C-alpha cells in the first residue's frame, strides 16, 4: 500500500519511469538503513548488495569450502532476491538467509570473497536483473560506479570512524554477538582497506555522487535530507 506521505510529496508519480538510486560508502556509515528507509518511504525495492556478497561467504563457511572451491560450485549456487511481506529477502539454495549474514566470521572473510572477479560478475548480473523492471534503492560499494553508472541519483555516505565503530558494535551486541569495540574497529579498518584498494571495482566516490555525512544525523534526519535531494533531482529528470 502506498504510504500517505508519498501522495503528498508527489514522489509516487515516477512509477512510469524506472528510477535507480545508488548508495555507496565505507562500512557502517548507515547505507543499508538509509536504503531501507528510502525504499519503504518510496515503496520501491531495496537491494542490499553487501548481503549478497555475505550470502556467498556464509555458504563457503557452512560448506567448509576454500575460495577456490566456492568458485568451482558458483554456477550451481541458487541465489535469488525475493520480496515477501514488503521485505526484500535473499534465498540461498531455497533457504532465506538473514541474521546469519551478520555473523562476525562472515564479516571477517567477506572482503576476500568480494574481491574475486568471478564472484562480482555472478552477483552484478543479478543486481542488474533485479532492477530491470522496478525502481530500486541499492546500496553497496560499486553501485554508482560499476553496477549502475547511469543511476538517476547517487549518494556517497561517510561518517567519522568512531561513530561507525559505535554503530556497528551496538548492532552486533543487539544481535547477541559478544565482541569488544576495539575488535570492531580492527575489522572495520581492515575491511575498508581491502574494499578501497582491491583491483576490481574498488569502493570510490562516483564523480556525480552527492556526499552525505551521517556522523551527526539521526536516522530520521538522514531520511529527510536524502528525500529532499531526491525530490529536487526527480523534478529535474521528469520536467520537460
Q: How far apart are alpha carbons 30 and 88 in whole angstroms? A: 18
Which of 55, 110, 116, 157 lies at the binding interface for ligand DC (CB under 6 A)? Answer: 110
CA neighbor of 203 nearest in space, from 154, 137, 131: 154
Using CB under 6 A as the binding rule, the residues of this chain from 7 to 26 that contact ligand DC are none
Residues in region 193-212 near ligand DC by CB under 6 A = 195
> Applying CB under 6 A, does 114 fall inside the site for ligand DC?
yes
Closest distance between ligand DC and the C-beta of residue 1, in Å? 29
| DSSP-derived pairing of the beta strands 20-25 and 153-158 | parallel
If the CB atoms of residues 14 and 204 are measured against ligand DC, the closer one turns out to be 204
CA distance linking residue 15 with residue 35, whole number of Å: 18
Distance CA 17, CA 72 (A): 39
Integer Cα distance of 190 and 52 in angstroms: 20
Q: Which is nearer to ligand DC, 48 or 152 (CB)?
A: 48
Q: Tell me which residues in 127-156 interact with ligand DC (CB under 6 A).
A: 140-143
Residues in the chain, total: 240
* Residue closer to ligand DC (CB basis): 41 or 54: 54
Pick the binder of ligand DC from 29, 39, 49, 167 (CB under 6 A). Answer: 49
Here the cell at position 53 is 556478497
Segment contacting ligand DC by CB under 6 A, of 33-41, 45-53, 86-94, 204-212: 45-53
The sign of the dihedral angle between the CA atoms of 37, 38, 42, 47 is negative
Give the residue with the Cβ less far from ligand DC, 139 or 152.
139
Residues in touch with ligand DC (CB under 6 A): 27, 49-51, 53-54, 110-111, 114, 140-143, 191, 195
Amino acid at each position: 500500500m502506498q504510504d500517505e506521505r508519498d501522495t503528498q510529496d508527489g514522489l509516487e508519480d515516477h512509477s512510469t519511469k524506472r528510477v535507480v538510486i545508488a548508495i555507496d560508502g565505507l562500512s557502517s556509515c548507515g547505507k543499508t538503513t538509509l536504503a531501507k528507509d528510502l525504499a519503504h518511504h518510496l515503496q520501491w525495492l531495496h537491494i542490499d548488495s553487501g548481503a549478497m556478497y555475505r550470502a556467498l561467504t556464509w555458504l563457503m563457511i557452512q560448506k567448509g569450502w576454500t575460495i577456490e572451491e566456492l568458485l568451482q560450485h558458483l554456477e550451481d549456487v541458487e541465489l535469488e532476491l525475493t520480496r515477501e511481506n514488503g521485505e526484500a529477502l535473499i534465498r540461498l539454495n531455497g533457504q532465506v538467509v538473514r541474521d546469519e549474514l551478520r555473523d562476525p566470521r562472515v564479516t571477517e572473510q567477506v572482503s576476500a570473497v568480494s574481491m574475486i572477479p568471478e564472484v562480482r560478475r555472478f552477483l552484478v548480473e543479478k543486481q542488474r536483473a533485479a532492477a530491470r523492471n522496478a525502481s530500486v534503492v541499492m546500496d553497496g560499494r560499486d553501485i554508482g560506479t560499476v553496477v549502475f553508472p547511469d543511476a538517476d541519483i547517487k549518494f556517497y555516505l561517510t561518517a567519522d570512524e568512531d561513530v561507525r565503530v559505535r554503530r556497528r558494535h551496538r548492532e552486533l551486541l543487539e544481535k547477541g554477538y559478544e565482541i569488544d569495540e576495539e575488535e570492531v574497529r580492527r575489522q572495520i579498518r581492515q575491511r575498508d582497506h581491502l574494499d578501497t584498494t582491491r583491483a576490481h571495482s574498488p569502493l570510490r566516490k562516483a564523480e556525480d555522487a552527492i556526499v552525505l555525512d551521517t556522523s551527526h544525523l539521526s536516522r530520521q534526519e538522514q531520511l529527510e535530507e536524502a528525500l529532499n535531494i531526491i525530490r529536487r533531482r526527480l523534478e529535474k529528470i521528469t520536467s520537460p
